[in-house]
Amino acid sequence: MWNKVERVNSNENFVLNTDKYHTTTNDLDSFISEFKAIRTKKKWDTWGRTYLEIPPRVLSEFGVLTNAPFVCYVNYVLNKAKFYGYSGEIFVGDAAWFDEYQVIDADDIIKTETYKQIKTALHNTDESMSFQDFFNTAKEKWNIVPITNHELAEYASKLNNHIK
């Protein structure tokens, strides 16, 4: 069943501290029931996406301290997976662009590419890589594909509250 997206317009200062990143050995699968996950319905020529909202408590188990939930998703650009993240609840960011969504059960979250990407980031033991290194930059999102309306793309880029 598809639900109507209710857009949330809030702008909160996001605090991200990764001083303790690389210091934990938890398994993300143990926290899967605490995630919120949705799949959006295709809109125009854009495929639907899977968005995962991770509570601050779960992130802290992996040395990532935040004052708000963190949302991540995979967007396929020119057939390449790009991994993005933003602060807040699911519908304060990119997911609000879509019109309809479905809730994803905990059992199905593990099967998604978005979950695989965040698990790789949180289980990272390579100390030369920061948490932010796993995410593609906001500029790429608006510049990597041909844009027909440059004014709208520039406006959208300014509103983007992406992690980088």
In 3-state terms the chain splits into helix, strand, coil percentages (rounded to 5) of 30, 25, 45
- Predicted local distance difference test score (pLDDT) of residue 140: 56
Backbone angles phi, psi at 92, to 5 degrees: -95, -5
Considering all CA atoms of the chain, what is the largest pairwise distance in Å, rounded to the nearest integer? 46
Domain count, the chain: 1
Let me know if residue 164 belongs to a domain.
no
Let me know if residue 89 belongs to a domain.
yes
**Are the C-beta atoms of 50 and 113 separated by less than 8 Å?**
yes
Let me know if residue 43 belongs to a domain.
yes
Let me know if residue 137 belongs to a domain.
yes
**Are the C-beta atoms of 76 and 23 separated by less than 8 Å?**
no
Query: Could you say which DSSP state residue 43 is in?
Result: B
Of the candidates 26, 9, 40, 23, the one whose C-alpha atom is nearest the C-alpha of residue 104 is 40
Q: Which domain holds residue 47?
A: 3-159
Distance (Å, rounded) from C-alpha 41 to C-alpha 2?
8
Model pLDDT for residues 97-155, shown as the tens digit of each residue: 899 999 999 999 999 999 999 999 999 989 999 999 999 876 555 454 445 556 666 66
Model pLDDT for residues 19-31, shown as the tens digit of each residue: 999 887 799 999 9
Order across the sheet with 100-103: list the strands. 3-4, 100-103, 36-40, 50-54, 70-77, 80-87
Let me know if residue 41 belongs to a domain.
yes
Let me know if residue 49 belongs to a domain.
yes
Distance (Å, rounded) from C-alpha 69 to C-alpha 74?
17
Handedness of CA 54, 20, 25, 121 (dihedral sign): positive
Distance (Å, rounded) from C-alpha 27 to C-alpha 89?
23
Let me know if residue 102 belongs to a domain.
yes
Model pLDDT for residues 39-57, shown as the tens digit of each residue: 999 888 788 899 999 999 9
**Are the C-beta atoms of 92 and 103 separated by less than 8 Å?**
no
